Structure 1
Amino acid sequence: MSHSPHLPHPRVPVSRPLLDLSQILFGCFLAGTSFNVLLRPNEIASGGIVGLSLIFSEVFGIEPAFLQWGFNFLILVIAAKFLGRAFVFRSLAGLIALPAAVYLTRFWPPMTGDLLLGSLAGGAGVGVGMGLVFRANGSVGGFSALALLFHRRLGLPVDRGLILLDGLVLLSAALVYRNAELILAAAICVAIVGRTARGLLNGMSHSRMALIVSELSPEIESRILTEIPLGVTKLHGQGGYSGEEREVLMVVARAPEVMRLKRLVKEVDPNAFMTVCDAHEVLGYGFNSFAVTPRAERPVGLAPAPTAK
């Protein structure tokens, strides 16, 4: 891969346990507060252990924080044998802090009584909080642990496991509340939580990846490197119909640079073939540093979305 000397140097990951712990605690506090001032007053079951605790609280009258501690601890004990000590240790801080935040803010006054506003703002608050926890290499156990356990024992994809578990929570809410508006609000909240957490984890500023096929690829490559400047990777390509061999240029650019790239390619070769697609997580030189958490054990970064568990 060719690089311009003007490209920024890659960041080197450093160990920052105190900063990570602070981020986990703040994320849990934000999620717990959003639950108490936005979701709980409007009876919005947001999915995951948080939503499940609200349903059980409605039926049995038990404080949701105690239910969250109990559910998360039970799940973590069951999953510990299969997910390893590292996952358990990463989950302890969040497991303790999130229900603690829910308990300490349980008497805070509600911010709104509107279902739609509560589901949107509450989902965003919980999503940002969980996103901060996940970015700090943490976890709160819960359904994320169960989904990983199902994946390792049953081969069920993690994203499908989360969808199945959240679906059961929404079904339980439907049976308990018997209110269509509450169920719709809960479904909106689940989607917002997942989208917000995933966006915060992967980076809110999406990049784009362009593939360029042209007879004038050397000139295009030279001008991209010197004028924008961006890195260029040269791939070997062969036409399926013609059988002709062509050089394919792969370029990853941030959103503001895409229009400059398009204009440059058009100037050099108006007949060039160019496709541009979203690149939601770009890691490496000039972009984000690689996450420390092994992908196989990552509790989030899942499709379609991670939720507050």
Structure 2
Amino acid sequence: MLKNINIMEEGKKILIAAGSAVLLALSLNFFLIPANVFASGFTGIAQILSELIGLSPGILLFLLNVPVAILGWMKVGKSFTLYSFINVAFTTLFLEIIPVTTISNDIILNSVFGGVVGGIGAGLILKFGASSGGVDILALLFARKSDRPLGTYFFIMNAFIVLTSGLMFGMEKALYTLLTLYVLSRIIDILHTRHVKLTAMIVTSKAEELKHAFYQQVTRGVTRIPAKGGYSKEDKEVLMIVITRYELYLLQRIIEEVDPKAFTNVVQTTGVFGMFRKEA
């Protein structure tokens, strides 16, 4: 039974990766590429290189992600990297299949709707424990080597894209690129938390089983706090665990499997001091 559930879960993630890729490809081919406005991350870099050397953005996006996927497989995590790369492969396919089409000549509409559609695509794959590849994996690798937060690397990469768009097409296009990046990030905020660190507090009657599952699959420390149900008067425990946003989907799955009746509250963590494993 567990095997069947896992197969269904993996199949669902592949379908989500494909659906996300369709939205990312539509964002580029219907809105951003016709307006010469750039997306974020490796997608934006692929657009820049496409303008310079003439290859299609889809092929360049795939080529940029191959070495990063190899590093991610070895250093970040196999499941996260695998589904991120599947998403990239689907995005490349759909970028080649879907023709570049001008829907509107209004650059503001193109910038906004490109950000909305791309943000939905990126947020969708993040919600299911993967990413749209490239920058997310690189940021995780760089964060291992320093005390800087992941957000620093996203900011540096996107600042490079905005400045390059300004040099290539003028500062007005750079501002429209900035608008797209803002809209995209806000849409992702709605669909999936972009906070780097999160604190989950789980009220459960199966504290020992959950703690063991967290140690086995999430590899994070857990603090156990005695608690009592206000209405039921039952003795329970609160498990407090700090995770990265990439581990939120996995944590949710574990809780649903071990104790579906558990109450979980997830909050933003503005700072972490002490024993927290940086590499995840």
- Equivalent in 177, 196, 204 of residue 186 of structure 1: 177
User: Deviations along 1:104-162, whole A, 9 cap, x unmatched?
Assistant: 11x24211121111010000000001111111222232101111111112232111111
Tell me, yes or no, if the aligned pair for 2:20 and 2:121 is still in contact at 8 Å.
yes
Map of 1:291 onto structure 2: 252
The verdict on how the C-alpha distance between 1:302 and 1:90 changes in structure 2, with shifts beyond 3 A counting, is farther
Amino acid at match of 1:71: L
What are structure 1's unaligned runs of at least 5 residues? Answer: 1-13, 204-230, 234-280, 282-287, 294-300, 305-309
Tell me, yes or no, if the aligned pair for 2:87 and 2:132 is still in contact at 8 Å.
yes
Structure 2 CA distance for aligned equivalents of residues 42 and 53 of structure 1: 15
Map of 1:197 onto structure 2: 188
- Of structures 1 and 2, the larger Rg is shown by 1
Tell me, yes or no, if the aligned pair for 1:170 and 1:186 is still in contact at 8 Å.
yes
Structure 2 CA distance for aligned equivalents of residues 138 and 190 of structure 1: 20
Report 1:1-309 matches (<5 A).
16-105=9-98, 107-177=99-169, 179-202=170-193, 291-292=252-253
Name which structure has the greater RCO, CA cutoff 8 Å, separation 6+. 1
Partner of 1:154, secondary structure, is: coil
What are structure 2's unaligned runs of at least 5 residues? Answer: 195-228, 232-244, 255-266, 271-280
Structure 2 CA distance for aligned equivalents of residues 67 and 115 of structure 1: 24
Structure 2 CA distance for aligned equivalents of residues 113 and 85 of structure 1: 42
Instruction: Provide the identity percentage.
Output: 21
The verdict on how the C-alpha distance between 1:70 and 1:302 changes in structure 2, with shifts beyond 3 A counting, is farther
Q: CA deviation at 1:290?
A: 5.2
Tell me, yes or no, if the aligned pair for 1:46 and 1:187 is still in contact at 8 Å.
no
Tell me, yes or no, if the aligned pair for 2:143 and 2:149 is still in contact at 8 Å.
yes
Tell me, yes or no, if the aligned pair for 1:158 and 1:302 is still in contact at 8 Å.
no
Structure 2 CA distance for aligned equivalents of residues 291 and 171 of structure 1: 39
Output the TM-score relative to the length of structure 1.
Answer: 0.59
> Which range moved further: 118-127 or 168-177?
168-177
Output the TM-score relative to the length of structure 2.
Answer: 0.65
The verdict on how the C-alpha distance between 1:303 and 1:149 changes in structure 2, with shifts beyond 3 A counting, is farther
The verdict on how the C-alpha distance between 1:84 and 1:185 changes in structure 2, with shifts beyond 3 A counting, is same
User: Deviations along 1:211-245, whole A, 9 cap, x unmatched?
Assistant: xxxxxxxxxxxxxxxxxxxx979xxxxxxxxxxxx
Partner of 1:45, secondary structure, is: coil
